[in-house]
């Protein structure tokens, strides 16, 4: 099998890349180790930055998002039983975000790809990337019980944190920067209308809590829990009781309860692999970097990477100028590190570490107080949340 761009992984990064290349007349093959149902139902991110929304529309994948997505112009910060709204458009010159789940983005992109795109093979597991330093890199993969080879001009590893692409960068050229956090998020889906019309990020002495949503009738909520927690340790009633405590305010706001339909725990880490390119192998999305979810940046960063790659390849094929392809890693990493900084700042401002001291608590409250009283600090948050521009 032969193609121009071999794409490993059909998460948001791989699927969007296939669409961008297809729209530019460049052929690709997507290899995905899991089946279609798994990819379409894996519950993950929920917030699309303005730039991501624009890219999906331009790619012709924004129709259902524009119909069913929920545009949001702000978030609420909650601490000390107080509430503070951050108004994105007012602080950023009109930028906002969209609540539209990763599951739905993937469903839309898969449907488009199967309708008129290049091959998208499910249950096709990449085993290794070979010859990244040559003109014709290859992906060895297992499909329908046989081992096969995909010959490519370029390989893009969009295979997430646990994928194989990153392993093809020689250890002596790789640098890893990482941080683990001693807590995770217990996430639930519940059949109950969201108790607030915007997202609520709450800092509480008992830990962080987040209120989000999937639709006008489905809530998505998260609770900070100790690292290694098993979601089944928490009964539904205990989860609602704890959420209620952490969201408590001095006014008459109430958290509505409903049947919990899904429960899972996500570990939290910051991770960056440098460089993001080795020869003709390019890494994109979670394959190259992870952020803790507090800033809602993971999916959006993945989108930024593949847009950068697609633009660079399109330019190279049109003009012969490889400058953008050659600087792929540097271009992406600048944005990645801004998102790492933002996600780290949001995480450490809102979560309570198990060894937090009263001094740490006061610093967190002072940071939140600063955001609510200094427009410069609030603008910095709004700019980070709505997204860093693509070069
Ligand atoms: P992925 O979505 O991980 O896609 C990689 C794909 O590659 C997968 O489909 C995988 O099956 C496939 N693959 C892996 N190995 C191989 C192989 N060898 N061969 C072929 N295919 C392979 N972000 C937020 O902003 N908010 C959140 O609430 C949030 N929650 C998350 C919860 C979890 C449990 C995880 C893991 C991530 C979460 N994220 C969240 C991050 C966000 O979902 C990711 O940043 C985003 O999915 C990145 O997209 P991607 O396409 O790079 O990688
Ligand atoms: C969601 C996830 C996030 O990480 C976040 O910061 C906001 C919303 C969500 O799943 O809806």
pLDDT in tens, the chain (391 residues): 999 999 999 999 999 999 999 999 999 999 999 999 999 999 899 999 999 999 999 999 999 999 999 999 999 999 999 999 999 999 999 999 999 999 999 999 999 999 999 999 999 999 999 999 999 999 999 999 999 999 999 999 999 999 999 999 999 999 999 999 999 999 999 999 999 999 999 999 999 999 999 999 999 999 999 999 999 999 999 999 999 999 999 999 999 999 999 999 999 999 999 999 999 999 999 999 999 999 999 999 999 999 999 999 999 999 999 999 999 999 999 999 999 999 999 999 999 999 999 999 999 999 999 999 999 999 999 999 999 877 6
Q: Token digits for 216?
A: 């006008």
Bridge partners (DSSP) listed for residue 98: 48, 71
- Same domain (yes/no): 216, 139: no
What's the CA angle centered on 83, arms 81 and 84, to 5 degrees? 145
CATH number of the domain bearing residue 196: 3.30.9.10
Overall residue count recorded for the chain in this entry: 391
**Which residue is closest in CA terms to ligand 2's atom 11?**
46
**Which residue is closest in CA terms to ligand 1's atom 2?**
11
Residue 90 domain flag: no
- Same domain (yes/no): 233, 192: yes
Residue 307 domain flag: yes
Calculate the CA 111 to chain-centre distance.
21
Residue 388, pLDDT score: 84
- Same domain (yes/no): 172, 318: yes
- Same domain (yes/no): 201, 333: no
- Same domain (yes/no): 164, 301: yes
- Same domain (yes/no): 185, 243: yes
113 CA to centre of ligand 2 in angstroms = 26
Residue 78 domain flag: no
- Distance CA(331)–CA(316), nearest Å, equals 16
Query: How many domains is the chain partitioned into structurally?
Result: 2
Residue partners of 138: CB distance under 8 A and separation at least 6: 6, 129, 130, 131, 149, 150, 151, 152, 155
Q: 229 near 264, Cβ under 8 Å?
A: no
Scan for tokens 């900084």, then name that residue: 341
385 is catalytic: yes
What's the CA angle centered on 214, arms 271 and 269, to 5 degrees? 10
- Same domain (yes/no): 279, 376: no
- Same domain (yes/no): 159, 307: yes
Residue 30, pLDDT score: 98
- Same domain (yes/no): 143, 258: no
- Distance CA(214)–CA(77), nearest Å, equals 19
Cβ–ligand 1 contact at 184 (below 6 Å)? no
Q: Annotated catalytic residue: which of 22, 196, 204, 297?
A: 297
Q: Could you give the dihedral angle defined by the CA atoms of residues 56, 60, 64 and 69, in that order, rounded to the nearest 10 degrees?
A: 20
- Distance CA(61)–CA(324), nearest Å, equals 25
- Same domain (yes/no): 259, 296: no
Bridge partners (DSSP) listed for residue 147: 142
Q: Token digits for 230?
A: 């098993």
Q: What distances in angstroms separate CA 158 from CA 30, 75, 278, one per listed residue?
A: 10, 30, 14
CATH number of the domain bearing residue 327: 3.50.50.60
Residue 246 domain flag: yes
Residue partners of 282: CB distance under 8 A and separation at least 6: 154, 155, 156, 157, 276, 309, 328
Residue partners of 95: CB distance under 8 A and separation at least 6: 50, 88, 89, 382, 383, 386, 387
Residue 220 domain flag: yes
Interface ipTM above 0.90: yes
Q: Annotated catalytic residue: which of 12, 22, 72, 351?
A: 72
Residue 92 domain flag: no
Scan for tokens 């990482």, then name that residue: 178
- Same domain (yes/no): 344, 321: yes
72 is catalytic: yes
46 CA to centre of ligand 2 in angstroms = 5
DSSP 212: E
301 Cα nearest atom in ligand 1: 45
Residue 390, pLDDT score: 79
Q: Which of 169, 123, 165, 145 is nearest to 31 (CA)?
A: 123
335 CA to centre of ligand 2 in angstroms = 20
Domain range spanning residue 344? 5-72+97-178+269-348
Bridge partners (DSSP) listed for residue 76: 85, 200
Residue 378 domain flag: yes
- Same domain (yes/no): 262, 274: no
Residue 154 domain flag: yes
Q: Which bound ligand lies closest to the C-alpha atom of 188?
A: 2
């Amino acid at each position: 099998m032969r193609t121009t761009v071999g794409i490993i992984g059909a998460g948001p990064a791989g699927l969007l890349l296939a669409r961008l290349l297809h729209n530019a007349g460049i052929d690709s093959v997507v290899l995905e180790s899991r089946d279609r149902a798994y990819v379409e139902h894996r519950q993950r991110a929920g917030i699309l930055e303005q730039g991501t929304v624009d890219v999906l529309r331009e790619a012709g994948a924004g129709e259902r998002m524009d119909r069913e997505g929920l545009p949001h112009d702000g978030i609420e910060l909650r601490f000390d039983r107080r509430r503070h709204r951050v108004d994105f458009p007012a602080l950023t010159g009109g930028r906002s975000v969209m609540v539209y789940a990763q599951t739905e983005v993937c469903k839309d992109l898969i449907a488009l790809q199967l309708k008129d795109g290049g091959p998208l093979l499910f249950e096709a597991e990449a085993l290794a990337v070979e010859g990244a330093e040559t003109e014709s890199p290859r992906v060895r993969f297992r499909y329908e019980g046989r081992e096969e080879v995909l010959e490519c001009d370029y390989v893009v590893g969009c295979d997430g944190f646990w994928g194989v692409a990153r392993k093809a960068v020689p250890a002596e050229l790789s640098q890893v920067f990482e941080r683990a956090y001693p807590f995770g998020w217990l996430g639930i889906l519940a059949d109950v209308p969201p108790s607030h019309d915007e997202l609520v990020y709450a800092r509480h002495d008992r830990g962080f809590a987040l209120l989000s949503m999937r639709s006008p009738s489905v809530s998505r909520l998260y609770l900070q829990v100790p690292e290694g927690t098993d979601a089944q340790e928490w009964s539904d009633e205990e989860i609602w009781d704890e959420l209620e405590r952490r969201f408590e305010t001095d006014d008459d706001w109430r958290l509505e309860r409903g049947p919990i339909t899904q429960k899972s725990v996500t570990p939290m880490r910051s991770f960056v692999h440098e460089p993001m390119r080795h020869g003709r192998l390019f890494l994109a999305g979670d394959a190259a970097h992870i952020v803790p979810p507090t800033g809602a940046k993971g999916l959006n960063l993945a989108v930024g990477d593949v847009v950068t790659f697609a633009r660079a390849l399109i330019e190279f094929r049109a003009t012969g100028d490889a400058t953008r392809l050659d600087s792929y890693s540097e271009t992406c990493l600048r944005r990645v590190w801004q998102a790492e900084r933002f996600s780290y700042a949001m995480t450490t401002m809102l979560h309570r570490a198990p060894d937090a001291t009263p001094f740490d608590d006061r610093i967190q409250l002072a940071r939140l107080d600063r955001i609510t009283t200094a427009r410069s600090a609030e603008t910095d948050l709004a700019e980070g949340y709505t997204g860093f521009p693509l070069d």
